[in-house]
């Protein structure tokens, strides 16, 4: 008997690397607002929503915007981001991800997406991964941001699998916390020093197989 029935994946930083495009778009916006923005700051925006990201950038820059300027700024950032991701292609899927998803699907696991990004469906289409997912929960369906577990709980509900039979793959600390808060197994993807709260950390999917899912509790 296997330990888990569903696998829920974060998008940015787990399946594809869109952080570089977010960086370019936020940097362009920051320049237009006269505030400085660097890669280190970009790291701190991983996994958090567009609105919260802008709030942080304004806080770091010590500036305030009216409600309508704030909304214009978010629209501008997203317009630029969409221009960057427009040319994404299947080669941008991170190493080992496609074959892991295909094997998991063949083995009968339910597969879900749990992303803060409102652009998640567009990105999955661009990199030709959509058909591998049984459900897609993105920033358009959630009211609360990670570390709230809402995004993953909605995924489990859609997949009709109890939380303790779900494994979440996350690259951001807030995402790992969200998975734990939802009562799920949290696998960090990336740096073990950053993802300290994860049940286990893997560098990526190049050396992680579907069989390894059964030894996660060892
Ligand atoms: P959007 P994830 C997150 O995606 C990104 O990591 C984060 O940097 C971004 O601000 C957020 O999506 C919202 O994205 O502006 O496209 O709606 O890691 O949860 O897949
Ligand atoms: Mg992420």
Are 36 and 98 in the same domain? no
Q: Give the residue numbers marked as catalytic.
A: 10, 12
Name the domain boundary from 40, 65, 85: 85
- Domain with 144, as residue range(s), is 6-17+93-215
Pocket test for ligand 1, best of 12, 85, 137 (most atoms within 8 A of CB): 12
Query: In the chain, where do the E strands start and end?
Result: 6-9, 110-114, 135-137, 166-170, 185-189, 200-202
Taking the CA atoms of the chain, what radius of gyration do you get in angstroms?
Answer: 17
CA distance 60 to 85: 26
Residue of minimum CA distance from atom 3 in ligand 1 = 47
User: Residue 106: is its pLDDT beyond 70?
Assistant: yes
30 in Cβ contact with 42 (< 8 Å): no
Which residues are close to ligand 2, an ion, with C-beta < 5 A? Answer: 10, 12-13, 47, 171-172
Ligand 1: centre distance to CA 150 (Å): 15
Last residue of a domain, one of 85, 108, 132: 85
Question: CA 188, CA 194: separation in Å to the nearest integer?
Answer: 9
Number of domains, the chain = 2
**Lowest-confidence range among 22-26, 43-47, 74-78, 186-190?**
43-47
- Residue 11's closest CA among 189, 209, 192? 189
Q: How far is the CA of 46 from the centre of ligand 1 (A)?
A: 7
Report if pTM > 0.75: yes
Q: Is the CB of 110 under 6 A from ligand 1?
A: no
- pLDDT for the residue numbered 56: 96
Is the same domain home to 23 and 81? yes
CATH number, domain containing residue 165: 3.40.50.1000
pLDDT per position as a tens digit, 146-169: 999 999 999 999 999 999 999 999
Question: Residue 172 Cα, ligand 2 centroid: separation in angstroms?
Answer: 5
Euclidean distance between CA atoms 44 and 76, whole angstroms: 20
Cα 193 to Cα 33, 56, 94, 184: the distances in Å are 33, 23, 21, 21
């Amino acid at each position: 008997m296997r330990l888990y029935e569903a696998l829920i994946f974060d998008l940015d930083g787990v399946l594809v690397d869109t952080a570089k495009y977010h960086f370019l778009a936020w940097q362009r916006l920051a320049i237009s607002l006269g505030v400085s923005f660097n890669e280190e700051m970009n790291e701190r925006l991983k996994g958090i929503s567009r609105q919260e990201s802008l709030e942080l950038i304004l806080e770091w820059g010590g500036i305030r915007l009216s409600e309508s300027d704030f909304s214009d700024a978010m629209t501008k950032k997203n317009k630029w981001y969409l221009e960057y991701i427009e040319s994404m292609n299947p080669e941008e899927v991170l190493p080992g991800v496609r074959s892991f998803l295909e094997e998991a699907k063949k083995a009968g696991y339910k597969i879900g997406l749990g992303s803060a990004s409102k652009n998640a469906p567009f990105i999955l289409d661009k990199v030709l991964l959509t058909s591998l997912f049984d459900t897609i929960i993105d920033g358009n369906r959630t009211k609360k941001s990670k570390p709230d577990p809402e995004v993953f709980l909605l995924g489990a509900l859609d997949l009709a699998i109890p939380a303790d039979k779900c494994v979440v793959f996350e690259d951001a600390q807030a995402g790992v916390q969200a998975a734990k808060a939802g009562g799920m197994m949290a696998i960090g993807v990336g740096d073990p020093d950053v993802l300290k709260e994860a049940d286990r950390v893997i560098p990526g999917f190049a050396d992680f197989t579907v069989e390894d899912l059964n030894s996660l509790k060892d």
